């Protein structure tokens, strides 16, 4: 399953950077964005995941997020999420960068985690930016208002919005200093997240893609492994432990 080159890279690696997308949560039952049963098959991103759409039709957008929260509240992390938790304990420097807002990495136990696009379980006031995490706000379908009177929105990054300050810089720094860059379950279409594997590649990291199909970056990575992350990641961790144990 794993080439000699990949095994050697993992054997000597000190710093690992991992970028995950919706594909790592697919086996938990969370629909991806662009797959055939993707979340966006019914809607187009511009209709929902942007600020103007929210201001023009807050009820539709808020209901879409409540629908996704309801769905996500019923799923669990899968072996792919747990494999990354194990990987974090193997490598001295391990940075997990996720585009996902589903909180499944946190539930699985990942610690050094950068959320590029926010978190669906947090809400935020449009006017005063107060962050709300209480479950009630999350569960109600009806629009919610802050004490200041501002409309409450999901605390996620919409198209056309900048990523949370500092997060992208930390993700780029981790990508530029790692020895191995793992890109898992992303179509690599959304910027600036999709540039991170290239930072890794350009800085000399051994770049690995794990995806059920090829993507726009497949040609660029050092190793493309086609398959489900929930199958491949546990095997990658098993191989890593063996190879580094034999290293003494
Ligand atoms: C920004 C949060 C600076 C919300 C998301 C015009 C105007 C403004 C901006 C732009 C513009 N043109 C381009 C841009 C930039 C834009 C962008 O990239 N657009 C793309 C679509 C062209 N980016 C932005 O706007 C970003 N901000 O640039 O700020 C700026 C500001 C103003 C003006 C200009 C620039 C903000 C982007 C963040 C958007 N928010 N999510 C929410 O979730 O509701 S993005 C959304 O897509 C999710 O976060 C998701 O994670 C992300 C990426 O999708 P993927 O994770 O890759 O999911 P996808 O379904 O696509 O792919 C799944 C993959 O998994 C597939 O490859 C599949 O094969 C694989 N898979 C499936 N099952 C498995 C598997 N792999 C392994 N195992 C399996 N079992
Ligand atoms: Zn407010």
What string of pLDDT tens digits covers the 248 residues of the chain?
899 999 999 999 999 999 999 999 999 999 887 766 666 556 776 678 999 999 999 998 998 898 889 899 999 999 999 999 999 999 989 999 999 999 999 999 999 999 999 999 999 999 999 998 867 666 667 899 999 999 999 999 999 999 998 999 999 999 999 999 999 999 999 999 999 999 999 999 999 999 999 999 999 999 999 999 999 999 999 999 999 887 76
Domain borders along the chain are 4-30+77-117+163-247, 35-74+123-156
d(CA 206, CA 212): 20
Q: Report the separation in Å between the CA atom of 109 and the middle of ligand 2, taken as the mean of its atom positions.
A: 32
d(CA 165, CA 62): 24
C-beta 197 within 6 A of ligand 1: no
The hierarchical CATH code for the domain 35-74+123-156 is: 3.30.1600.10
> Which of 218, 21, 222, 220 is CA-nearest to residue 117?
21
Ligand 1 atom closest to residue 188's alpha carbon, by position in its atom list: 57
- The alpha carbon dihedral of 111, 168, 39, 24 has a sign of negative
- Which residue's C-alpha comes closest to atom 33 of ligand 1? 160
Active site residue 105: no
Give the ligand at the shortest distance from the Cα of 129: 2
Do residues 116 and 163 make contact, with C-beta atoms less than 8 angstroms apart? yes
d(CA 85, CA 75): 18
C-beta 201 within 6 A of ligand 1: no
Ligand 1 atom closest to residue 187's alpha carbon, by position in its atom list: 67
DSSP, residue by residue, 83-103: HHHHHHHHSSEEEEEE---S-
CA 25 to chain centre: 9
Q: Whole-model pTM?
A: 0.95
Given 117, 124, 153, 201, which residue is catalytic? 117
C-beta 78 within 6 A of ligand 1: no
C-beta 213 within 6 A of ligand 1: yes
Q: Report the separation in Å between the CA atom of 83 and the middle of ligand 1, taken as the mean of its atom positions.
A: 24
Q: Report the separation in Å between the CA atom of 94 and the middle of ligand 2, taken as the mean of its atom positions.
A: 36
Q: Domain 4-30+77-117+163-247 is in which class?
A: alpha beta
d(CA 188, CA 218): 10
Do residues 17 and 200 make contact, with C-beta atoms less than 8 angstroms apart? yes
End-to-end Cα separation, the chain, in angstroms:
23
- Which residue's C-alpha comes closest to atom 71 of ligand 1? 23
Q: Report the separation in Å between the CA atom of 113 and the middle of ligand 2, taken as the mean of its atom positions.
A: 28
């Amino acid at each position: 399953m794993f080439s000699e080159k990949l095994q050697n890279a993992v054997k000597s690696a000190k710093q690992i950077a991992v970028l995950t997308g919706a594909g790592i949560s697919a086996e938990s039952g969370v629909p991806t964005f662009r797959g055939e049963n993707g979340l966006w098959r019914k809607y187009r991103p511009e209709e929902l995941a942007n600020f103007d759409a929210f201001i023009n039709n807050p009820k539709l957008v808020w209901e879409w997020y409540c629908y996704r929260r309801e769905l996500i509240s019923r799923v669990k992390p899968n072996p792919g999420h747990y494999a990354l938790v194990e990987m974090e304990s193997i490598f001295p420097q391990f940075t997990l960068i996720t585009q996902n807002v589903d909180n499944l990495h946190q539930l699985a136990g990942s610690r050094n985690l950068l959320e590029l696009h926010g978190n669906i379980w947090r809400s935020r006031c449009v006017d005063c930016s107060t962050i709300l995490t209480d479950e009630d706000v999350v569960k109600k379908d009806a629009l919610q208002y802050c004490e200041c009177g501002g409309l409450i929105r999901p605390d996620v990054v919409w198209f056309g919005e900048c990523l949370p300050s500092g997060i992208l810089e930390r993700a780029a720094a981790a990508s530029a200093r790692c020895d191995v860059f793992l890109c898992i379950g992303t179509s690599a279409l959304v910027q600036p997240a999709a540039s991170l594997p290239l930072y890794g590649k350009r800085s000399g990291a051994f770049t690995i893609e794990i995806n059920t199909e090829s993507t726009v970056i497949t040609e660029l990575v050092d190793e493309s492994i086609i398959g489900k992350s929930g199958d491949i990641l546990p095997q990658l961790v098993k191989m890593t432990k063996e190879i580094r144990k034999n290293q003494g």
